[in-house]
Amino acid sequence: MASIKMGVFGAWRGNSYIDLMLREPEIDLFAICDKNIDNLCDDGKLAEIPKFRDFDEFLSYGKENGMNAVFLANYFHQHAPFAIKAMNAGLDVFSECTAASTLKECVELVETVEKTGRKYMLCENYPFSNEMLKMEEIAREGALGSLLYAEGEYNHSGGNEELRRLTPGRYHWRAWLPRTYYLTHSLGPIMYITKTEVRYVSARASHSDLLYELREWRHNYDGAAHMLCEMSGGMTARFTGCTAMASDYGRYRVCGDISGVEAGGYIPGGKVRQFWHEHTKPDGQNENVLLIDPAFDDDKKAKNAGHGGGDYRVVQNIKDYLICGKEPFFDVYRAVNMSATAILGWRSCLNHGENFKVPDFRNKEEREAVRDDDLTPFPDENGEGATLPAALPFEE
Ligand SMILES: NC(=O)c1ccc[n+]([C@@H]2O[C@H](COP(=O)([O-])OP(=O)(O)OC[C@H]3O[C@@H](n4cnc5c(N)ncnc54)[C@H](O)[C@@H]3O)[C@@H](O)[C@H]2O)c1
CA 194 from centroid of its chain's CA atoms: 16
- Position 123 scores a pLDDT of 98
CA distance 112 to 347: 26
Residue 157 per-residue DSSP state: -
Beta bridge partners of 69: 6, 92
Q: Which of 35, 75, 176 to mutate to test the pocket of ligand 1 (most atoms within 8 A of CB)?
A: 75
- 221 and 340 housed in the same domain: yes
- 140 and 14 housed in the same domain: no
- Position 307 scores a pLDDT of 75
CA distance 312 to 317: 9
How many residues make up the chain in this entry? 396
Tell me if 307 is assigned to some domain: no
Which candidate, 59, 64, 66, places its Cα nearest to that of 83? 59
The CATH number assigned to the domain holding 88 equals 3.40.50.720
- The residues of the chain scoring below 50 in pLDDT are none
Query: Which atom belonging to ligand 1 lies closest to the Cα atom of 124?
Result: 1
CA distance 337 to 135: 22
Atom 11 (ligand 1): residue with closest C-alpha?
Answer: 73
Atom 4 (ligand 1): residue with closest C-alpha?
Answer: 13
- 113 and 256 housed in the same domain: no
Tell me if 59 is assigned to some domain: yes
- 267 and 343 housed in the same domain: yes
- 153 and 232 housed in the same domain: yes
CA distance 189 to 195: 10
Residue 171 CB less than 6 A away from ligand 1: no
The CATH number assigned to the domain holding 276 equals 3.30.360.10
Say if residues 187 and 359 touch (Cβ distance below 8 Å): no
Does the pTM surpass 0.75? The reply is: yes
Atom 25 (ligand 1): residue with closest C-alpha?
Answer: 10
- 103 and 177 housed in the same domain: no
Which candidate, 154, 139, 336, places its Cα nearest to that of 242? 154
Alpha helices (H) in the chain, listed in sequence order = 14-22, 37-40, 43-46, 55-65, 79-88, 103-116, 130-140, 160-166, 184-194, 209-212, 299-303, 310-324, 332-350, 364-368
Tell me if 81 is assigned to some domain: yes
Residue 378 CB less than 6 A away from ligand 1: no
Tell me if 380 is assigned to some domain: no
Tell me if 134 is assigned to some domain: yes
Residue 34 CB less than 6 A away from ligand 1: yes
CA distance 243 to 247: 9
Say if residues 385 and 376 touch (Cβ distance below 8 Å): yes
- 76 and 164 housed in the same domain: no
Atom 19 (ligand 1): residue with closest C-alpha?
Answer: 75
Query: Which atom belonging to ligand 1 lies closest to the Cα atom of 123?
Result: 1
CA distance 126 to 33: 25
- 38 and 130 housed in the same domain: no
Residue 97 CB less than 6 A away from ligand 1: yes
The count of domains in the chain is: 2
SS3 282: coil
Residue 174 CB less than 6 A away from ligand 1: no
Tell me if 310 is assigned to some domain: no
Strand order through the sheet with 4-9:
51-52, 27-33, 4-9, 69-72, 92-95, 120-122
CA distance 204 to 113: 33
- 264 and 166 housed in the same domain: yes
Going by C-beta distance under 8 Å and a sequence separation of 6 or more, which residues neighbour residue 285?
Answer: 276
- 103 and 250 housed in the same domain: no
- Position 302 scores a pLDDT of 87
SS3 208: coil
- 204 and 106 housed in the same domain: no
- Residue range of the domain that includes 84: 4-125+315-324
CA distance 258 to 275: 9
- Position 1 scores a pLDDT of 54
Residue 72 CB less than 6 A away from ligand 1: no
- 141 and 290 housed in the same domain: yes
Say if residues 291 and 267 touch (Cβ distance below 8 Å): yes
Say if residues 119 and 318 touch (Cβ distance below 8 Å): no
- Position 2 scores a pLDDT of 64
Q: Which of 34, 55, 156, 249 to mutate to test the pocket of ligand 1 (most atoms within 8 A of CB)?
A: 34
Query: Which atom belonging to ligand 1 lies closest to the Cα atom of 306?
Result: 3
Residue 152 CB less than 6 A away from ligand 1: no
Strand order through the sheet with 236-243:
289-292, 272-276, 259-264, 250-256, 147-155, 236-243, 222-231, 198-207, 356-357
Tell me if 182 is assigned to some domain: yes
Ligand 1 centroid from CA 36, angstroms? 11
Tell me if 86 is assigned to some domain: yes
In sign, the C-alpha dihedral spanning 202, 207, 211, 214 is positive
CA distance 41 to 50: 11
